[in-house]
Structure 1
Amino acid sequence: MNKRSPALTLVQHGLLALMCVIAVFPLYWMLISAFKNESEIFTASMFPHKPVLTNFTYAFDEMPIFRMMLNSFSIAIMTGVFQMATSLLAAYALVRWRFRGQGLIFSILSLTWLIPYQAVMVPNYSLVNSMGLNENIMGIVLPYAVSTFAILSLYQSFQSFPRVLIEAASIDGLSDFGILVKLILPNIKSMVASLGIILFLNGWSEYLWPMLITKEMENAPIEIGLRLFVNSDTNMWGSLMAAATAACIPILLIYILLQRQIVDSFVRYGMK
Structure 2
Amino acid sequence: MNKRSPVAAILRHGVLALMCIIAVIPLYWMVNSSLKNESEIFTSSFFPNAPTFSNYSYAFSQMPIVRMIFNSFGISILMTLLQLATSLLAAYALVRWRFRGKGLIFSILSLTWLIPFQAIMIPNYVLVNNMGLNDSMLGIVLPFCVSTFAILSLYQSFQSFPGVLIEAACIDGMNDWDILVRLIIPNIRSGIASLGIISFINAWNEYLWPMLITKKMENSPIQIGLKLFVNSDTNMWGSLMSATTVSCLPVLIIYLLLRRHIVDSFIKFGIK
TM range (shorter): over 0.9
- Deviation, 1:231, is 3.2
- The answer (yes or no) to whether the contact 2:229–2:237 under 8 Å persists in 1 is no
Q: Which residue of 2 aligns with 1:268?
A: 268
- Deviation, 1:4, is 10
Q: Deviations over 1:4-46 (max 9, x none)?
A: 9433433332222222212111110110111112221121111
- Deviation, 1:270, is 0.8
> Kindly tell me: are residues 133 and 228 of structure 1, through their superposed partners in 2, closer, same or farther at Cα, counting changes over 3 Å?
farther
| 2:42 paired with 1:42 | yes
Q: Secondary structure at the match of 1:231?
A: coil
> Kindly tell me: are residues 200 and 2 of structure 1, through their superposed partners in 2, closer, same or farther at Cα, counting changes over 3 Å?
closer
- The answer (yes or no) to whether the contact 1:72–1:221 under 8 Å persists in 2 is yes
> Partners of 2:120 and 2:222 in 1: how far apart?
24
Q: Which residue of 2 aligns with 1:27?
A: 27
- Deviation, 1:163, is 1.4
- Deviation, 1:212, is 1.2
Q: Which residue of 1 aligns with 2:258?
A: 258
User: Which structure 2 residue ranges, 5 or more long, are not aligned?
Assistant: none
- Deviation, 1:210, is 1.1
- Deviation, 1:141, is 0.3
Q: Which residue of 2 aligns with 1:136?
A: 136
- The answer (yes or no) to whether the contact 2:3–2:9 under 8 Å persists in 1 is no
- The answer (yes or no) to whether the contact 1:217–1:228 under 8 Å persists in 2 is no
Counterpart residue type for residue 153 of structure 1: S
> Partners of 1:229 and 1:239 in 2: how far apart?
7
- Deviation, 1:3, is 11
TM-score of the two chains, using structure 2 as the length reference? 0.95
- The answer (yes or no) to whether the contact 1:75–1:137 under 8 Å persists in 2 is yes
Counterpart residue type for residue 131 of structure 2: M
> Partners of 1:118 and 1:94 in 2: how far apart?
28
Indicate the RMSD between aligned Cα atoms, in angstroms.
Answer: 1.8
Moved more, 166-175 or 69-78: 166-175
User: Which structure 1 residue ranges, 5 or more long, are not aligned?
Assistant: none
> Partners of 1:117 and 1:235 in 2: how far apart?
29
- Deviation, 1:228, is 2.6
Counterpart residue type for residue 202 of structure 1: N
Matches within 5 A, 1:168-247: 168-231=168-231, 234-247=234-247
| 2:166 paired with 1:166 | yes
TM-score of the two chains, using structure 1 as the length reference? 0.95
Moved more, 15-24 or 26-35: 15-24
> Partners of 1:236 and 1:116 in 2: how far apart?
32
Number of positions where the alignment pairs a residue of Structure 1 with one of Structure 2: 271
Q: Deviations over 1:82-133 (max 9, x none)?
A: 1000000000011111111111111111111111111111111111111121
Q: Deviations over 1:179-218 (max 9, x none)?
A: 1000111111111111111111111111111111123321
- The answer (yes or no) to whether the contact 1:33–1:241 under 8 Å persists in 2 is yes
> Partners of 1:24 and 1:261 in 2: how far apart?
21
- The answer (yes or no) to whether the contact 1:63–1:229 under 8 Å persists in 2 is no
Moved more, 94-103 or 243-252: 94-103
| 2:103 paired with 1:103 | yes
Q: Which residue of 2 aligns with 1:58?
A: 58
> Kindly tell me: are residues 5 and 106 of structure 1, through their superposed partners in 2, closer, same or farther at Cα, counting changes over 3 Å?
same
> Kindly tell me: are residues 107 and 4 of structure 1, through their superposed partners in 2, closer, same or farther at Cα, counting changes over 3 Å?
closer
Percentage of identical aligned residues:
70
